[in-house]
Amino acid sequence: MNTSPVNPAADGPHRLDPAGGCPHAANARLLARSAVAPVILPGEVEGMAVLGHDALKEFLSHPDVAKNAAHFAALQAGGIPDGWPLKTFATVQGMTTADGADHRRLRSLMSKAFTPRRVEELRPRIEALTASLLDGLEAAAVAGDGVADLRTHFALPLPMGVICELLGVEAEHHDRLHRLSNQIVATDIGPAEAMAANREMVEVLSAVAAARTEEPGDDLTSALIAAREENGDRLGPQELIGTLMLTIIAGHETTLNLITNAVRALCTHRDQLALVLAGGASWEDVVEETLRWDSPVSYFPFRYPTRDLELDGTVIPKGTPVLAGYSAAGRDTKAHGPDAARFDITRDNKARHLSLGHGAHFCMGAPLARMEGTAALEQLFTRFPGLDLAVPDPELPRHASFVGNSVQKLPVRLHG
């Protein structure tokens, strides 16, 4: 038997499609070769992706892996142009690009908004908003000859409404912030459009910060501003805007994809839906299995080894931009068994996934995302148990991004 190690570059690096698409077939091919794969990012930028569950878990908590773009070799050498579609992920100032003491400082400031008590206090508001949005979804279906876009009328406004309420962002900004978030996470966007989206996002969030400075409220933005004013080095102006940007994008895009993907999974696995409706499994089980089986985030940018790092037999050179391959890790057969590609809400190890991160940068909003997802699915299918897709799942238009993993629209019939 040939036991020589697999060379992940044997067939050349994997060219990530800026237009996105369903990641699972390509992930399976890459995982069959190695847990770590060389990739070509937009603009012919060379990078790596960590795909295997165990390798990704090790990588996410490795002491010689950084988030700060000071360690991004090509960027520091002037090889990354303005308008590069992934540049914001590298250069925005906030928790996702901070290391060590800076990261701990920013996380400490944010953590007050995401304590178990504060999240639990949001439950009545989440449940009331969910019920109201379902009324709107039903009205949209009546107006649309029985068909409504569940993503537009339900899966999007729920997490956007919750995160903006948490931050003290006025409702007038919601649609604009979602449009800008979509552009910022898009990987098929042109340089001019990318820079314009970033400028506009900064303008909107600067206006939000100015409003909360003028009229502080019981919200996270006001608390962050107060912390900055109490001690000038706690949170700089760019860090404030960067933190708001990251919180809005992470706080609604991921939960939006989670709810959308869970509905798709249940509609295409009616036996699993019947099991939950009969009380044989819980809505929490659906959320965890969706996170594993169809992660809301496919490839998340970036981390950088601070030295040449060997991971699962592959060397990742110092300063390489590395993607965390959450969608691949969730279906890694070495971690989840030979049936890892099967959606099964009764599997024992479904919560073993890494889709909410691992280590120091574990998703702070995980309890909130889980609560929103559970409340959304329970109310949706309790009210509309016959809900089904109006378009076959393979025909649904995919995200124009290899970062987010979902579809752009989700037309459904509420009564099958």
Bridge partners (DSSP) of residue 39 are 14, 47
In angstroms, the first-to-last Cα distance of the chain is: 52
* Residue count (the chain): 416
Q: Edge-to-edge, what's the strand order for the sheet holding 388-389?
A: 147-149, 411-413, 388-389
Q: Radius of gyration (Cα) for the chain, nearest Å?
A: 21
User: Using CA atoms in the order 225, 229, 230, 234, what is the torsion angle rounded to 10 degrees?
Assistant: 70
Task: Report, as ranges of residue numbers, the positions in the chain whose pLDDT lies below 50.
Answer: 1-9, 233
Residue 230 confidence (pLDDT): 59
Bridge partners (DSSP) of residue 314 are 311
Q: How far apart, in whole angstroms, are the C-alpha atoms of residue 355 and residue 363?
A: 9
Q: Are 176 and 7 in contact (CB under 8 A)?
A: no
Q: Are 308 and 316 in contact (CB under 8 A)?
A: yes
Q: How far apart, in whole angstroms, are the C-alpha atoms of residue 151 and residue 407?
A: 9
Residue 391's identity, in one-letter code, is V
Residue 4 confidence (pLDDT): 31
Strand 14-15 relative to strand 36-41: parallel, antiparallel, unpaired? parallel
Q: Which of 296, 270, 65, 337 is nearest to 185 (CA)?
A: 296
Bridge partners (DSSP) of residue 40 are 15, 46
Residue 152 confidence (pLDDT): 94
Query: 3-state class of 259 per DSSP?
Result: helix
pLDDT of 257-268, one tens digit each? 999 999 999 999
